A and B are shown apart, each in its own frame.
Chain A
Amino acid sequence: MSNVPPDLQYTKTHEWVRTLPDGTVEIGITDHAQHALGDLVFVEVPEGGRTVALGEPCAVVESVKAASDVYSPVAGEITLGNPLLATEPEAVNNDPYGKGWLMRLAPTKGAASAELMAANDYLKLLQTEGG
C-alpha cells in the first residue's frame, strides 16, 4: 500500500506538488512511482532559471528497468533542481516526499495548471490502477 501524504496535491502521472510558504512549489514523484521504477540509478533535474510549460518534460528518472520523463504539473520558472540527487538518486526511493524532491518552481501567475488532485482522489486512482 503506497504512502500518500494528505497535505500534498497529485497528478495522474504520479507527480506530487507541495506549495511552499513563499508561493513557490516543490515537485517530486510519488511513492507509487518510485516503487514501480525500482532502484533509481540516475536522476536528471532541470537547471535553475529555466522556464517550463505545463506538461513539459523537465526531469528524467532512470532505474535499471525504465527511464521515465517527469512532466511539469505547473507552468513557471525553475528556481532549483535538487542537488542531492546527482550523488544520491536513491533519495527518491527512500524519501520521495522529503529529501527526494526533484525541483522547485515559481509558478507563472494566472497560468492554467494541470488537474491537481487531492490525496484521497489520488488514492482512488491508485486503487483503480491496481497499485
Chain B
Amino acid sequence: MAFIPHTPADVEAMLATIGVASIEQLFDEIPASLRVKSLDGVPVGLNEMQIGRLMSERARADGRPLCFIGAGAYEHHIPAAVWALTTRGEFYSAYTPYQAEASQGTLQLIYEYQTMMASLTGMEVSNASLYDGASAVAEASLMAVRANRKSKSRLILVPRTVNPQYRRVAVATAGNQGLRFEDVPYATDGGVTPLDALKKYEAEDITALVIQQPNFFGQLEDVDALTDWAHAKGIFVIAVVNPTSLALLKPPGEWGTSGKGADIVVGDGQPLGVPLSSGGPYFGFMTTRMEYVRQMPGRIVGRTVDLSGREGFTLTLQAREQHIRRAKATSNICTNQGLLVTAATIYMSLMGPVGLERTAAASHASTKDLVAALTAVKGVRRAFAGPFFHEAVLLFDRPVAPVLTSLGKRGILGGLDLSEHYPELGYALLVCATETKTKSDIDSYVTALAEAVQAVRAA
C-alpha cells in the first residue's frame, strides 16, 4: 500500500480497540447510496520505478531548448546549494510556523528574508510573501484602497506598460470588491508612460497608480516624474519591480524627488533562486512603510523574547488575518510561499550585493548583445528608443509566429510574440537574455533566425 505502513496484525489490534469488526464499519454513518463503487477513471497505481520512467520520458519529450523569453519569468543561474538546502526535509516538510517554539528555523529565515526584501526595495517593512507577482498587484490595490483614506474612488490607474497578465489577475481578483482598473496609454516612440497621458486625471479622485520598472517592454519609465505627479495629488504609488534589477536600479523607496518614495512595492521573486518550472511555484513580495504595516496582507514575522529573555521569532499581527477576523480580514490569504522564500533567502545570501549586481549587469549586457546581433539581421529593428534593462521589443518585417515556430524546430525559443497583447505594435517580439546566455548561444539564435526568415516570406 502506498505509504501506508499497517500490517494485518496492526489492523486487527486497532479494530479490536475501537470495537468494530472491519474498517468498512467505520463508514457506517455515511449513507450507502453515496458510496463510491469504483474509480475506473483513475489508472492502476505505479510503483516508483514505473513512475520514474514515465516522468523521464515526458521530460525528454519536452527537452531543453535555448530560451530567450522573459515576460515576467527569468532564467538565472541557481547555485547548487540553494535547492540542496531548500529540499532538506526540515524545510520542505515543515508546517506553517504557528507553533513558534517548533519553527524557529523557518521563522528566523523569514525574518532574514523580510530584512533583505525591505532593503532591496528601499522600504521599511516586508511581509513573508504572497502567491506571485500578479496576485501581489491585486493585493496591493486592495491595500491602497484600505490605506489611502483620502480617496474614495477605488480607481486604480494601470499603465499599458504593466505586465498585461498582472492587470488581468488584478481585475479577476479585486473586481468583485468594487475596484476599477483603468488603462493608461504609452508613448509609441519610447515605449514608456508619458505624463501627458495622466493629464486627463488631473481633477479626478484616483486611489493608486501602478508603475512597473523596468516595464513589460523592458523600457525604463521616468519613475521620479510619475511618482511626483501621483504624490502631489494624494495618489498612492504601487511599484512593480524585478528584484534582480534592483541591484542596479534605484529602488522604489527612493522614487520621486520628495524623499517619500513609492507607497507599496510588489513584484515576483522568481528571479531570486526559483526555477522557471513552467510558471510556478513562484512567490510575490510586498514591502511598504511602517505607517501602513497594519494594512498589509499576508504573514509577518517579528522578533521578540521568550520567558527566559532569550530572543526568538514568531508570527505577529495575526489579528488582521482570516483565522481571527474572518469576514473582516484584510484578505482571505491563509498561506505564503514558504519554500520559495527559503530558496530566495539562501540565494540572496550566496549572491550578496556583489553577486546580485554582477548578475544584473551581465544580464543587461547579454540583452544588449542579443539586440545588437538580432537587429543586424535584415528586417529586424528595435521598437523603442531610450534606455532598457535586460528585455527589449524588436519589430520584424514579417509575422512573428511562423518565425518562432521555425526557431522552435531548431531548438530555440526566440521570445514572446506580442501580437495578442499589443496588436498595435505590429510584428513585435519581446526578447530577453540573462547572464546564462553566452556569445555562442546568441550566435546560435542569429544563425537560426537567418534560416527562419528565409523560410518565412516577408510581409
Using CB atoms and an 8 Å cutoff, list the residues of chain A in contact with chain B: 41-42, 62-67, 69
A66 to B328 CA separation, bound complex (whole angstroms): 11
| Chain A interface SS verdict (over half) | strand
Q: Is the CB of A64 within 8 A of B328?
A: no
Q: Is the CB of A64 within 8 A of B294?
A: no
A67 to B318 CA separation, bound complex (whole angstroms): 9
Count of chain B residues near A, Cβ 8 A: 7
Q: Which of B396-419 contact A (CB under 8 A)?
A: none
Q: Is the CB of A66 within 8 A of B294?
A: no
Q: Which of B280-319 contact A (CB under 8 A)?
A: 294, 318-319
**A-B pairs with beta carbons under 8 Å apart, 18 shown:** A41-B319, A42-B294, A62-B319, A62-B320, A63-B319, A64-B318, A64-B319, A65-B319, A65-B324, A66-B319, A66-B324, A66-B325, A67-B319, A67-B320, A67-B324, A67-B325, A67-B328, A69-B328
A67 to B320 CA separation, bound complex (whole angstroms): 7
Interface centre among B294, B319, B320, B324 (most CB of A within 10 A): B319
Q: Which of B366-421 contact A (CB under 8 A)?
A: none
| Chain B interface SS verdict (over half) | helix
The 3 A-B residue pairs with the shortest CB-CB distance in the complex, in nearest-first order: A67-B319, A62-B319, A67-B325
A69 to B320 CA separation, bound complex (whole angstroms): 12
- Chain A's nearest CB lies how many Å from the CB of B325? 5
Using CB atoms and an 8 Å cutoff, list the residues of chain B in contact with chain A: 294, 318-320, 324-325, 328
Contacts of B328 in A (CB 8 A): 67, 69
Chain B residue, CB-CB nearest to A61: B319
- Chain A's nearest CB lies how many Å from the CB of B127? 17
Contacts of A63 in B (CB 8 A): 319
A42 to B319 CA separation, bound complex (whole angstroms): 10
A42 to B311 CA separation, bound complex (whole angstroms): 22
Chain A residue, CB-CB nearest to B329: A67
Contacts of B320 in A (CB 8 A): 62, 67
Chain A residue, CB-CB nearest to B320: A67
A63 to B319 CA separation, bound complex (whole angstroms): 7
Interface centre among A41, A63, A65, A67 (most CB of B within 10 A): A67
